Amino acid sequence: MKAIPGDKALSLFTSVTLTLIMALPLLFFVVLRFEGMQMTGGAIAAGWFLFLFFMILKTGDISRWRRVFFVSVALFFFPAFIARLFETRGHMELTAADVIASETPFCHIVIPSALIPMALTKNIIFSGRLTGHYAAIYSMMLIWLTASLTLGRGWCSWVCFYGGWDDGFSRLAAKTRLPLNPSNKTLRLFPFAMLGFVVLGSLVTMTSIYCDWFCSFKLITEYEAVTSSRSFTAFILMILLFFGLLIVLPLLTRRRFQCGVFCPFGAFQSLVGKVTAPYAVRLDKEKCIGCQKCVAACPTLSITRESLADGTGPLATCTLCGECLKACPKGALDYRFKNRKKTVCDPATGNLSGWKKILLGEILHPRTLFIFTAFLFGAIVSGGFASGTLGRLLNLFIKGSFTLGGH
């Protein structure tokens, strides 16, 4: 029995079974570890996540339902994060007193410019807390390390709580107004140049220069208090980067501009994932007819005319988002265990039926295993802020206060 090209839908039995299995960790990580209104918010978030997970499996439309999940994660993140800043330190701006008190949340984008200087100088160039804080350095490092071993650059389409911004805006416009050529090496290599620049810059200045000058997410997280012409310049730059990289350029190009063309962490994760990640999206050259629909569909410029022609398919910058799987009319692209083009448990490689089809062709297929792992990881990482935002919204409607506890 041949698989239908491009058809990634699983049977109702498999979809329901895997959704029920997914419900167990979500019950713990998104619901039961919280109390009061946040627990109720967590229950709503878990229900929403389970619905999205079921839709990914049952419809096989990974591209659409993953994006809905990813955008929701980004939207859940910033209200909870900003509310937490107000609850813990009373304001959103980062002041000199906050830096001295190490009240600076640490995020994954700073990891490369913290790790390499740390290895060379034994200093962490960041004023955040090592442990115990809600965005502490060690907990973020641990999340990143685990994600690298399981998802590699899949982080950038399934876990990152920022990525939903350019992912969402890149799909809002019906037509491309500013075409980007994926074969343009300057565009594709720019994030790697940024990576080198921020790592070296941090090392030389012993300051986190990406965080201080180039972060596009400051407007929705925290920004330096404006107290001088230097901080005023950084403030203006922050606004330009937010609107430019996350909204305007994704709308015009229909590509994920921040993640595909700018982010140094994305470049770093491409290098790390090349070594650590067990999964990749692979091209089956025998099925490919060279139509280049995948080249046009890839939001991060990770498939080029050249990589198709030489049979490489998706490059190391691939975020395993699944857009090209949907675009390909021949089913020539799919998730694989790395370094294996075909898999013995792929229904397209043999005659599978009955329980063997369910077990080997569906549940143990690398596509299903990757989606399960990536979705679970994304849902767990976003559990705290999804429950936090929804719990606060409930509090707002019921008690008139966005603060958890309702005072």
Which residue number, 30 or 308, has a Cβ lying nearer to ligand SF4? 308
Determine contact, residues 84/74, Cβ cutoff 8 Å.
Answer: no
Which residue number, 190 or 235, has a Cβ lying nearer to ligand SF4? 190
Query: What is the nearest approach in angstroms of ligand SF4 to the Cβ of residue 326?
Result: 9
Which residue number, 144 or 158, has a Cβ lying nearer to ligand SF4? 158
Query: What is the nearest approach in angstroms of ligand SF4 to the Cβ of residue 300?
Result: 5
Q: Is 281 helix (H, G, I), strand (E, B) or coil?
A: strand
Which residue number, 255 or 392, has a Cβ lying nearer to ligand SF4? 255
Q: Is 125 helix (H, G, I), strand (E, B) or coil?
A: coil
Query: What is the nearest approach in angstroms of ligand SF4 to the Cβ of residue 312?
Result: 11
Query: What is the nearest approach in angstroms of ligand SF4 to the Cβ of residue 320?
Result: 5
Determine contact, residues 125/199, Cβ cutoff 8 Å.
Answer: no
Distance, in Å, from the CA atom of 375 to the CA atom of 377, rounded to the nearest integer, reads 5
Which residue number, 322 or 378, has a Cβ lying nearer to ligand SF4? 322
Distance, in Å, from the CA atom of 216 to the CA atom of 17, rounded to the nearest integer, reads 40
Q: Which helix (DSSP H) or strand (DSSP E) does residue 149 occupy? A: helix 137-150
Per-residue burial over 154-183, b = 16 or more CB atoms within 10 Å of its CB, e = otherwise: bbbbbbbbbbbbbbbbbbeeeeeeeebebe
Note the residues at the interface with ligand SF4 (CB under 6 A): 281, 283, 288-294, 297-298, 300, 302-303, 308, 314, 318-324, 327-328, 330, 332-333
Torsion of CA 279, 284, 289, 291, to 10 degrees: 10
Query: What is the nearest approach in angstroms of ligand SF4 to the Cβ of residue 157?
Result: 7
Which residue number, 43 or 308, has a Cβ lying nearer to ligand SF4? 308
Determine contact, residues 239/163, Cβ cutoff 8 Å.
Answer: no
Query: What is the nearest approach in angstroms of ligand SF4 to the Cβ of residue 198?
Result: 23
Which residues touch 244 (CB under 8 Å, ≥6 apart)? Answer: 216
